[in-house]
Structure 1
Amino acid sequence: MNLLIVDDEPLEREVLMDVVKKNRIGITHCLEAVNGASALEIVTSESIDIVVMDIKMPVMDGITAAKVMKERRPHLKVLFLTAYNEFDYALQTIKLGAVDYLLKPVRPDEFIQALKKVIGPTSDQTSEEIHQHQSNNIIETITTFIHDHVEEKLTLVQLSEFVHLHSQYVSRLFKQEMGMTLTDYITVSRIEKAKELLANSTKTIADISEQCGFTDPNYFTRVFKKLEGCPPKQYRENEQQLKREKVNRQYFNKIM
């Protein structure tokens, strides 16, 4: 689990981070931010599971930041930590789906108990495994969608919306897990589909190009040649030749 602590008071952040480090509760990484705006940047670019955030901060307050965070990352857990014991604040945090609302100064044991409720019974190892499992599910969902819609226009924004995550996070996660960019994976998937159609159908190259999501047959040919080392027409001829040779071998083996 990755934790982000957001507070405009440096000492407050330091104390909370020290409390987390001294207690083995399944937190793998602990990051910090000085206000809601900087917290949003971190949540967008990093894999954050839990946000502990003050409400009243300069530049962007915690309530505003939490609204945007929950829109981008619906499953993000937000715990508010504030010195303002006011009903309006508490009501807003409830509407945002906050997991807890703690008043400053919070005792270390109270803070740890609140985090434990969010994390649940786990260890560092199982936390890593859970995180990897979540990443695998996201990647599997995206790749399955690509394969099922390879003939359509596919974009990073569209696929990110499909899994309810921010595009920058999806882009970074995909590259990390798959070893290639999302755009490259889409292109490779289109070409793999094209190879299948070239080898097993009599469709024209223009039709195959369109069926695999390419709007320009000439561009399709250039991309195909770059990845496969030969143009689509030659690839089809090579596949047909291999099939003929296979049939001849089978016939020869049968009569021997």
Structure 2
Amino acid sequence: MMLHVLIVDDEWLDLEGLRDQIPRLLLPPMEIHTAESGIHALQVIQDVPVDILITDVNMPQLSGIDLAGIVKEKYPDAEILFVSGYDDFEYARQALALSAVWYLLKPVQDDELLTALLRAVNRLGAKGRGEESP
């Protein structure tokens, strides 16, 4: 089964970097979608089911926290990974309230991203969605 991953970040270099950092050979098949704002992400989720959302926390117009809440309403089984340049407890608290898989600090390390994605895939597998990790 193909998993759908949506990466959202208002900083283009971070967005491209995260997409390129995903170790596809170590994960189940996935289609990766990107959006450069929370507003653009809302357009994407109208057409694309979201299994895993990787979103920056702090974005103009629609924050990653608010976006995650909307994604969870539309796709209750979606797994959320937050990325932030801020080591802020309030953001982390809000992420926990949304049952986030992980809260990654920028710059995101390859091993942390892999660990977070494997955890998300395993949680999806436990819900009967996606595949168990290899």
Q: Which TM-score tier does this pair reach, normalised by the shorter chain?
A: 0.7 to 0.9
**Contact 2:52–2:78 (Cα < 8 Å) also in 1:** yes
What is the deviation of 1:59? 2.2
Q: Distance in 1 between matches of 2:24 and 2:80?
A: 21
Query: Partner residue of 2:97?
Result: 95
CA drift at 1:109: 1.5
Report 1:1-256 matches (<5 A): 1-20=3-22, 23-120=25-122
- Under a length normalisation based on structure 1, what TM-score does the superposition of the two structures give? 0.45
Q: Verify the 8 A CA contact 1:50 1:79 in the aligned structure 2.
A: yes
In the alignment, the residues of structure 2 paired with residue 77 and residue 69 of structure 1 have an alpha-carbon distance, to the nearest angstrom, of 9
Report the Cα distance in structure 2 between the residues aligned to 1:28 and 1:98, rounded to whole angstroms: 19
Identify the structure with bigger relative contact order (alpha carbons < 8 Å, sequence gap 6+).
Answer: 2
Q: Following TM superposition, by how much is the alpha carbon of 1:23 offset from its aligned partner in structure 2, in angstroms? A: 3.7
Query: Secondary structure of the equivalent of 1:109?
Result: helix
Deviation digits for residues 135-171 of structure 1 (CA, Å, limit 9, x no counterpart): xxxxxxxxxxxxxxxxxxxxxxxxxxxxxxxxxxxxx
What is the count of residue pairs matched by the alignment? 124
Tell me if the contact between 1:3 and 1:27 (Cα under 8 Å) persists in the aligned partners.
no
Output the amino acid matched with 1:70: K
Q: Which has the larger radius of gyration?
A: 1
Q: Which has the higher helix share?
A: 1
1:22-59, Cα deviation, whole Å (9 max, x unpaired): 54311421110111121122122212210000011122
Residues 80-118 of structure 1 show CA distances to partners (whole Å, capped at 9, x for unaligned) of 010111111111111111111111111112111110111
Partner of 1:165: none
CA distance, structure 2, for counterparts of residue 92 and residue 18 of structure 1: 27
Aligned partners of 2:83 and 2:50: how far apart in 1? 18
CA distance in 1, matches of 2:43, 2:12: 18
Distance (whole Å) between structure 2 residues aligned to residue 96 and residue 40 of structure 1: 18
Q: Which has the higher strand share?
A: 2
- Secondary structure of 1:92 counterpart: helix
Cα RMSD of the aligned pairs, angstroms, is 1.9
Instruction: Give deviations 1:5-34, integer Å, cap 9, x for gaps.
Output: 100111111111112255431142111011
Q: Which runs of 5+ in 1 are unaligned?
A: 121-129, 132-256
TM-score, normalised to structure 2, is: 0.84
Identity level (%): 37
Contact 1:36/1:62 (8 A) holds in 2:
yes
